[in-house]
Copies of this chain bind each other. A is one copy, B any other.
Amino acid sequence: MPDYEMFELGDLALQSGATLRNAKLAYKTYGTLNADKSNVIVYPTWYSGQHYDNEWLIGEGMALDPQKYFIIIPNMLGNGLSSSPSNTPQPYNKARFPNVTFYDNVRAQHQLVTEKFGIEKIALVVGWSMGAGQTYQWAVSYPDMVERILPFCGSAKTSLHNIVFLEGVKAALQADVAWKGGWYDEPPTTGLRAVGRVYAGWGLSQAYYREKVYLQQGYSSLEDFLVEFWEGFFLKKDANNLLTMLWTWQNGNIGNTPGFDGDFEKALAAIKAKAIVMPAEMDLYFPPEDNEYEVKLMPNAEFCAIKSVWGHFAGGGVNPVDTQFIDETLKALLAS
């Protein structure tokens, strides 16, 4: 028995021009929708994460309290549960799965939220990393619907340096001949392991490694951390799914929302939601500087950085101090 629901999107026409027929959006909800439908939180997933990977931020007494809020976690297209290269029937399967944007993802999520639940207002959209990308997109696509946003460790437009980091990830995966241009039957494990090793230096900060925090986490050595956590993490993923989401990430830009004609700054200025934008201080691919720029152009936004040696993973729910900081900031935002 799966622990999630499946929403039938019908034929999903994408920004790229392709149409995903009988597209599916996997989601899970927590708590109960109240009578006036005013207690809704949408909490999108991150690069290769699935709904259960978000649950660390949900709990009784926490900001995202299911006793109080109706929390919807929609799985990102390409993540292996919603329509993805790995689960789409031919002809749009595997290497032929189309390019998907944050805009496409959020349009599908909007369909779920409105058609399935009849929701008209969302109290909060919140997300980590690519989840943050979807969070900004919600605020731009549906400015009159979204009351608050808290994107953490992400950006409204993927920076050029971030694009380059992802080029390294992609090249390492595609260097494996077993990838076969996406037409593999057996997973390209050498490439997936290489992705893990490339990612390892980016995901955490220099200080995290300097302080050997991985030992506190229970890994027996640096090599154990690289094999058990990083290689193990990506070996569980489908290569084409990773490449689909990587394309979404590299092409993240709220300026590409219809009506903004690629104008990133105009799209930032159009955000009506009250926002707290939260980078992690030592994040190597979503550095705080990019968020500082965004906040200057957003009409109702505050900048609030996580002070942590965990780099990007400050927002990954793996350490209680950073989790508490995020939770308390969410509480303050929801109370406002």
Contacts and interface: CB of A to CB of B under 8 A. Distances in A.
Contact of A197 (B170, B176, B222): B170
Interface residues of A, number: 41
B194 A161 contact: no
A315 B221 CA distance: 32
Nearest to A164: B201
Contacts of A194: 168, 171-172, 174-175
B210 A167 contact: no
Contacts of A197: 164, 167-168, 170-171
A12 interface: no
A161 to B, nearest CB: 4
A240 to B, nearest CB: 17
B159 A210 contact: yes
B168 A287 contact: no
Contacts of A172: 168, 171-172, 175, 194, 198
Contacts of A161: 201, 205-206, 208-210
Interface in A275-289: 284-285, 287, 289
Interface of A: 159-161, 163-165, 167-168, 170-177, 190-191, 193-194, 196-202, 205-210, 212, 222, 226, 284-285, 287, 289-290
